[in-house]
Structure 1
Amino acid sequence: MPEFAIGEHDFLLDGRPFRILSGALHYFRVHPDLWADRIDKARRMGLNTIETYVAWNAHAPEPGTFDLTGGLDLDRFLRMIADAGMYAIVRPGPYICAEWDNGGLPAWLFRDPTVGVRRYEPKYLDAVREYLTKVYEVVVPHQIDRGGPVLLVQVENEYGAFGDDKRYLKALAEHTRDSGVTVPLTTVDQPTPEMLEAGSLDGLHRTASFGSGAEARLATLRAHQPTGPLMCSEFWNGWFDHWGAHHHTTSAADSAAELDALLAAGASVNLYMFHGGTNFGLTNGANDKGVYQPLITSYDYDAPLDEAGDPTPKYHAFRDVIARYHKVPDTVPPPARPAPTPSGALGDPVRLLDAPDRWGTWEFHEELPAFDDLTPMPQLALLRTRVEGDRPGVLTFGEVRDRATVFFDGDLVGTLSRDHHERAIPLPRAAGELLVLVEDQGRVDYGPRIGEAKGIIGGAALHGEPLTGWDVLPFDLARLPSLRPGTPESVAGPVAGPVVLRAGIDVDEPADLFLDTGEWGKGVAWFNGFALGRYWRRGPQRTLYVPRPVVRAGANELVVLELGTMLDPAAQFLPRPMLGHTEA
């Protein structure tokens, strides 16, 4: 069997120097029927390795579960990498960041407030070991010394930016070895002395994450990793986007020059990202460094391969750089073709306030619960109570995480948003039925707020007195695409949510599509039952990517959950993606 090891100066494959030319491709962000296409395009750019995170919360949405089917079939993904003649790097975390909901950590893990986060704490470590055991049952047979593609396994992820608990790192490394992982173990940190020292252990191979200044950053890495190969295991060649901000892009020429400097220094590299993919469904993360900023649905990342899997100028620029150092394949992928532009009228409204019982099951709580107190844990819920008083007042919440739309006797009162630090709103009358629609817009994926609860935190009060006796209806989002009105109904003119609408979409043959949401408000869309993700008029993203495998020749069905106001109840598709304005 082949042997992969860390030598005095190089990675060694069967005793010979080997440079890793890797690209990040997250299987859980790409439709599984497109994995082979994306892997082949990485090979044709000149890469020899595919790197992926493993998202714990995607595989284990509830305790005691571990899903390895469909788009979560890690075994199939690794087999496809091997079939393409490529190698693999696996980064199972347990924390991955990745601009993914909660940084990949399951929200259910923190229902118990005594559970630690990314530290040596018994309850946390017990859960982590159970998770890693499941991952390594898949990964171990795919190691290179067993005839598979896996060259490296990473322990934790940029831990030096979070903590310095060496006992914790040691426990992860020991469990990884005890589970049968024999390939070299790595860590990654931003190349500062403090982070490189805090985020690793002797015996784990240190690598760095950066996007520029290769010579200086590799020198810092070398000071903390005196022997062995230098590697930038996250070469940041693009960036991610927040709702309400601009679409981030980087110069292909500048990024290629930085890659050239990295390869000229003899280092190995993993491009973050080679192909970003999509935060399908409600999987996007968020940042909060004083202001809460949820991530958009697209994870295009301005990568060499765009969200739809088409080569960009960066793809060709990087391929040219790699060709100066290594042989690259003779053929390149074709350029993108314009996508079909079908259309359809949205109709058949099912309005939440008309029949809320159809959207889920009510449960009674004397005290207003957070989402994390509910099982299963929702990302959207309706709260209801009766207000009896002798005068209008101000409704206040402890904290809104992350958006609360308030109705009084069926009338819209207003919306409170976390990013504006809002938690109070006046009620117009003394008595009536109070309804609050609460949305989790994505859990923080980086920093000290990882693991925090969602929903209304700290309860509600009116006139300064606690409001008690709440009916809570967690939305069953999987049920929403099947909601139909008693009688079909067409819709003309603007529509106010919350409402489910649907449209028939005819397509000649399966193809990637780009759904235009520019005239819609805020919500979620499904295509033939596949959850495309969130849309929001505040941008920058305007189109939702519909992957070809979910599109049928002939009749298709689009379902939309509109939470705000839709200016034009029509479904339009565009020939190319529109991800918004840039800084330039």
Structure 2
Amino acid sequence: MSTPVRRFAIGEEDFLLDGEPTRILSGALHYFRVHPDLWADRIVKAREMGLNTIETYVAWNAHSRRPGEFEASGGLDLGRFLDTVAEHGMHAIVRPGPYICAEWDNGGLPAWLFQQPGTGIRSSEPTYLAAVEEYYEHLAPILVPRQIDRGGPIILVQVENEYGAYGSDKAYLKALTELTRRIGITVPLITVDQPLDDMIENGSLPELHKTASFGSRVGERLDRLRRHQPTGPLMCSEFWNGWFDSWGGHHHTTDVDEIAKSLDELLSRGASVNIYMFHGGTNFGFTNGANDKGTYAPIVTSYDYDAPLDEAGNPTAKYWAFRDVIAKHAPVPGLVPGERRTAFREPRSQSVEVSASLSAAVPLWQVADRLGAWSEHEQPPMCDSLGHYSGFTLYRTEIERRGAAILRVAEVRDRAQVFVDGRAVGVLARDHRDRVLTLPEDARGTLDLLIEDQGRVDYGPRIGEPKGLIGPATVNGDQVTGWQVLPLGLDDITPVAEALRDLTAAAHPDATADVVAGPAFARAVFDAPEHEGAIADLFLDTAEWGKGVAWINGFCLGRYWSRGPQRTLYVPAPVLKAEGNELIIFELHATASADVRLLACQELGHTEF
């Protein structure tokens, strides 16, 4: 049920709610990173910390995976998410991009956009603006009736995202602003940029309210924002209270006392805030982004972000510290003087909740044909040209060499495992700048390259790069031609699950496995324990596995990698059932054992030494 129609505006010094000064106390919560059955839990915890607003990006590429498509159901039901925000008495800030960064695959821009020749991304180029217009027209029926002046929760809508760090095309910002108004958005429009003079200047327009993104040096940065915007409320709409992790790095944390002190300073200045992140959630499936500032660095599956709520929605020390700070400046629901750590249960202690075994395994080669259709090409195509925008692609050709054989590729994006007649030869990795690999002596037979898109760059000039085998491949300088290519369709793991179930039912020798030698799929079945009469979240322990992807009951938990730092995959309770849960892993290399362990708490790896 909608709330009464209200007015939200930007005044000379304050945000105004029905003409009265009001402060925005917001927390970032991305609906697409949280299981929909858990949205309400996270929103209630935001309110109980003292927040009055929920902010979310909209991930264009999640909704529009193919040209002309727009999916808005299940975990992508933005309307349901916003209704849940309203039901719990909260306002909403929506940031539809079209570019969002967010450490999300391709910064939220659909990969198919880059297949259209001449498309000028994040600019006033007509082909791009036409695609954005179609996207916004899909958003209109969701957003327009949910604005505060229509009885909904939305009080602000953002135009673009830190555009001043990318470009200075004022015609583009003007076109986005006009488009936003044309679809029916009537609430105030804002921009966000890092508080540097050129970024603030390049990233906004006079008619858009400027906000800033930072996590420290509060006074200095608010002062700079004020110089560029002499009137209107000050707002840090991305108050960075944590950070993200990349594979091969360490788990990032921030000092609780220091960041709480910065929040207190921000609120003492009378500024509004959006805490980024209040709850980070998870890059389920193949949705993680990547950075490339000279070296390609894919982002891990967890988006815990060292936020006030951890990946599983448990309040952390930062939650309670922020709650205390907010209570100095605004009412906090249910706060009793001296109250500490009583609003929610503490997370369970680290223990093994479930033990099982991988009871069946099948090599990729035996089920590949069930996962897609082969196509033939004289030269190796890029994955994007096949309409395949994430996951894995199998490239196959025939070779016959005498003596030493050297395989050379122009570039691989992002990682290729190389096989000759099914035998592993080596790996070509983008982050290591690998281009050359020695093949076995007198190599002849089937040459396979299993290529993984490890996540598209989400920030900077390398956004939108095509994936796959880039350019020609040669053996001893001779071009290799006559390729067959198979994009692996892993959105629906059912064909693999059926093959593994058949092995188990037939008591096939492969139905037991002491270890898994990849690339192979393996299966385990387990029951979920109950805590206080309900099934609880679990964490899949991947410490003894190599590199791969995991699904439970068909739901893709995301990627794992022994490189770390992340050592567990979050399993949301709504994914589980009391009995007969089916785990499937796609192991690319090898497991140390067939043991399966599901834990009570997460393990995100070592912090910086």
Distance 1:65 1:273 in 2: 29
Please tell me whether the aligned partners of residues 308 and 317 of structure 2 are also in contact (alpha carbons under 8 angstroms): yes
- My pick for the range that moved more, 481-490 or 535-544, is 481-490
Match among 274, 286, 295 for residue 291 of structure 1: 295
Q: What is the one-letter code of the residue matched to 2:576?
A: V
Q: How do residues 68-79 of structure 1 correspond to structure 2 at under 5 angstroms?
A: 68-79=72-83
Q: How do residues 350-389 of structure 1 correspond to structure 2 at under 5 angstroms?
A: 350-389=362-401
State the Cα RMSD in Å.
Answer: 1.3
1:527 counterpart = 2:543: no
Match among 27, 31, 35 for residue 31 of structure 2: 27
User: Post-superposition shift, 1:558?
Assistant: 0.6
- My pick for the range that moved more, 35-44 or 360-369, is 360-369
Match among 224, 228, 234 for residue 224 of structure 1: 228
Q: What is the one-letter code of the residue matched to 1:567?
A: A
Q: How do residues 235-314 of structure 1 correspond to structure 2 at under 5 angstroms?
A: 235-314=239-318
Distance 2:457 2:384 in 1: 14
Please tell me whether the aligned partners of residues 25 and 272 of structure 2 are also in contact (alpha carbons under 8 angstroms): yes
Match among 505, 529, 535 for residue 526 of structure 2: 505
Distance 1:79 1:492 in 2: 47
1:349 counterpart = 2:361: yes
Match among 394, 399, 419 for residue 407 of structure 1: 419
Match among 176, 198, 222 for residue 172 of structure 1: 176
Match among 340, 345, 360 for residue 334 of structure 1: 345
Q: What is the one-letter code of the residue matched to 1:249?
A: T
Please tell me whether the aligned partners of residues 235 and 270 of structure 1 are also in contact (alpha carbons under 8 angstroms): yes
Q: How do residues 32-181 of structure 1 correspond to structure 2 at under 5 angstroms?
A: 32-181=36-185
Please tell me whether the aligned partners of residues 552 and 575 of structure 2 are also in contact (alpha carbons under 8 angstroms): yes
Distance 2:435 2:142 in 1: 46
Match among 199, 203, 217 for residue 195 of structure 1: 199
- 1:284/1:4 CA distance change after superposition, 3 Å: same
| Structure-1 residue corresponding to 2:339 | none
Aligned length: 584
1:470 counterpart = 2:483: yes
| Structure-1 residue corresponding to 2:7 | 3
1:421 counterpart = 2:398: no
Distance 1:455 1:447 in 2: 20
User: Post-superposition shift, 1:334?
Assistant: 2.4
- My pick for the range that moved more, 268-277 or 560-569, is 560-569
Distance 2:58 2:132 in 1: 13
Distance 1:475 1:245 in 2: 28
Distance 2:526 2:125 in 1: 52
Please tell me whether the aligned partners of residues 370 and 495 of structure 2 are also in contact (alpha carbons under 8 angstroms): no
- CA shift digits 1:417-436 (9 cap, x unpaired): 00001111111124221111
| Structure-1 residue corresponding to 2:450 | 437
| Structure-1 residue corresponding to 2:208 | 204
User: Post-superposition shift, 1:408?
Assistant: 0.8
Distance 2:229 2:367 in 1: 62
Distance 2:246 2:134 in 1: 33
Please tell me whether the aligned partners of residues 360 and 513 of structure 2 are also in contact (alpha carbons under 8 angstroms): no
Match among 553, 569, 573 for residue 544 of structure 1: 569
Distance 1:360 1:77 in 2: 34
1:518 counterpart = 2:543: yes
| Structure-1 residue corresponding to 2:587 | 562
User: Post-superposition shift, 1:507?
Assistant: 1.6
Distance 1:358 1:85 in 2: 48
Distance 1:112 1:464 in 2: 33
Distance 1:155 1:356 in 2: 43
| Structure-1 residue corresponding to 2:515 | 494
User: Post-superposition shift, 1:511?
Assistant: 1.2
Distance 1:379 1:108 in 2: 15
User: Post-superposition shift, 1:481?
Assistant: 4.5
Please tell me whether the aligned partners of residues 4 and 11 of structure 1 are also in contact (alpha carbons under 8 angstroms): yes
- CA shift digits 1:391-432 (9 cap, x unpaired): 332111111100000001221110010000111111112422
| Structure-1 residue corresponding to 2:468 | 455
Please tell me whether the aligned partners of residues 44 and 333 of structure 1 are also in contact (alpha carbons under 8 angstroms): no
Q: What is the one-letter code of the residue matched to 2:58?
A: V
Distance 1:113 1:565 in 2: 41
- CA shift digits 1:331-368 (9 cap, x unpaired): 62222234771111102111013453233221111111
1:573 counterpart = 2:598: yes
User: Post-superposition shift, 1:112?
Assistant: 2.2
- CA shift digits 1:284-341 (9 cap, x unpaired): 0000000000000000000000000000000000000000011101162222234771
In the alignment, structure 1 segments of 5+ residues that lack a partner are none
Distance 2:387 2:298 in 1: 24
Q: What is the one-letter code of the residue matched to 1:413?
A: V
Please tell me whether the aligned partners of residues 420 and 444 of structure 2 are also in contact (alpha carbons under 8 angstroms): no
Q: What is the one-letter code of the residue matched to 1:353?
A: W
Structure 2 length as normaliser, TM-score? 0.94
Distance 1:537 1:491 in 2: 23
Distance 1:453 1:191 in 2: 32
Q: What is the one-letter code of the residue matched to 1:398?
A: A
- 1:75/1:100 CA distance change after superposition, 3 Å: same
- My pick for the range that moved more, 120-129 or 473-482, is 473-482
- Name the SS for the 2:521 alignment partner: strand
- Name the SS for the 1:148 alignment partner: coil
- Name the SS for the 2:319 alignment partner: helix
Please tell me whether the aligned partners of residues 154 and 185 of structure 1 are also in contact (alpha carbons under 8 angstroms): yes
- My pick for the range that moved more, 335-344 or 570-579, is 335-344
Please tell me whether the aligned partners of residues 286 and 390 of structure 2 are also in contact (alpha carbons under 8 angstroms): no
Distance 2:443 2:65 in 1: 42
User: Post-superposition shift, 1:565?
Assistant: 1.2
Q: What is the one-letter code of the residue matched to 2:471?
A: G
- CA shift digits 1:472-527 (9 cap, x unpaired): 11101034354224533344433220101010111233210011000000000001
Please tell me whether the aligned partners of residues 378 and 474 of structure 1 are also in contact (alpha carbons under 8 angstroms): no
- CA shift digits 1:68-97 (9 cap, x unpaired): 100000111111111100100000000000
